[in-house]
A and B are shown apart, each in its own frame.
Chain A
Amino acid sequence: MSEPDPLKILGALERHRVRFVLIGAAAARIAGAPVVTEDIDITPATDKANLERLVAALKELRARLRSPSDRGGVPFPLDAHMLRTADLWTLTTSAGELDICFTPSGTRGYRDLRREALRTRIGPGISVSVASLRDVIRSKEAAGRDKDLAQLPLLRRTLEQIRERKT
């Protein structure tokens, strides 16, 4: 794998016109929460046409299954039908790690997250739909993993400060 560059991942998804919402720590950071983010998490729309576009983008990014025993990842048959056989895919690509989650905890997936998502310019010529901080918090609360719970106070504080700025 070459140097990780998550913007390349998002750029490829946009070029292939994949409908998705950026979620997780990257979304929280874009909203203003001072959290560290190492990879990209997305929730794509699940219609067949979108999944086929997603597959095309993943092929361009040479996506493989992430594996603790093989840093290069494990090849797998990449097609739209296969993607729908699991809710969560943890992938490694030529541009870094990418997690695809169709139904993040506490949400009902793309259509649910899209309602509050904001189209945001996140790099030169790259604009993506970013989940609202409120939805990121909702999802992390529902997931309840230690690493999610540890971030929650900072995310809530950020949300409060954003609200205070608006009033």
Chain B
Amino acid sequence: MVGGDLLVEARRRAGISQAELSRRSGVPPSLIGRYERYEVTPSLERLRSLIRAAGFELSMRLARVDPSNHDQVLIERELRRTPAERLRRGLMAGRQFGALTARPRSVRA
């Protein structure tokens, strides 16, 4: 989840509008909207203060980079497919997975 999504999520959880967040933070509502639509990227400090104004704390941590980048490769490959292909392959994998997990049941039967 990245900046704009965090802002939307913080507002949703707090149940407040862009106008209310603007009132609490002093940041113009039009700018909050632009952050949420990814038209403008807020600085980390601005993001932190907006999230705080919504009643939350933005916490961060350092994580080691996965040198294999396995997920990134899988995602890139998936994004090159059409939505229909993605669903078809996801369902096919699901059927294979289901067949594997169903095997012990059929043995018992």
Give Cα A38–Cα B97 distance, bound, in whole angstroms. Answer: 8
Across the interface, B87 reaches (CB within 8 A) one of A123, A137, A138, A160, namely A123
A residues 90-147 near B (Cβ < 8 Å) are 120-123, 130, 134, 137-138
Asked if A25 contacts B1 (CB within 8 A), the reply is no
* Stretch from A42-50, A51-59, A73-81, A151-159 that touches the partner: A151-159
- B90 nearest in chain A by CB position: A29
Q: Are A25 and B90 in contact (CB under 8 A)?
A: yes
B68 to A: closest C-beta gap in Å: 13
Chain A interface, number of residues (Cβ within 8 angstroms) = 37
Inter-subunit contact A159/B2 (CB<8 Å): yes
Number of chain B interface residues as a range: 20 to 34
Which chain A positions have C-beta within 8 A of B38? Answer: 163, 166-167
Centre residue among B76, B91, B93 by max chain A CB count within 10 A: B91
A38 to B9, CA, bound (A): 28
Q: Which of A25, A31, A38, A153 has the most CB of B within 10 A?
A: A38
Q: Looking at the assembled complex, report how far the CB atom of A165 sits from the nearest CB atom of chain B, in whole angstroms.
A: 7
Q: Which of A36, A123, A159 contacts B90 (CB 8 A)?
A: A36
Among the listed stretches B25-33, B54-62, B77-85, which one makes contact with chain A, having 4 or more residues with CB under 8 Å of it? B77-85
A77 CA to B87 CA, complexed, in Å: 32
Question: Which one, B75, B76, B95, contacts A4 given CB within 8 A?
Answer: B95
Chain A min CB distance to B37 (Å): 11
Which residue of B2, B76, B83, B97 contacts A30 across the interface (Cβ within 8 Å)? B83
In the complex, A26 has a CB within 8 A of chain B: yes
Q: B residues engaging A (CB < 8 A)?
A: 1-2, 5, 8-9, 12, 38, 71-72, 74-79, 82-84, 86-91, 93-95, 97-98
A–B pairs, 15, beta carbons within 8 Å: A4-B95, A25-B90, A26-B90, A26-B91, A29-B78, A29-B87, A30-B83, A33-B78, A34-B77, A38-B98, A122-B83, A123-B87, A130-B83, A158-B78, A159-B1
Nearest 6 CB-CB pairs, A to B? A29-B90, A38-B94, A34-B74, A32-B79, A37-B90, A36-B93
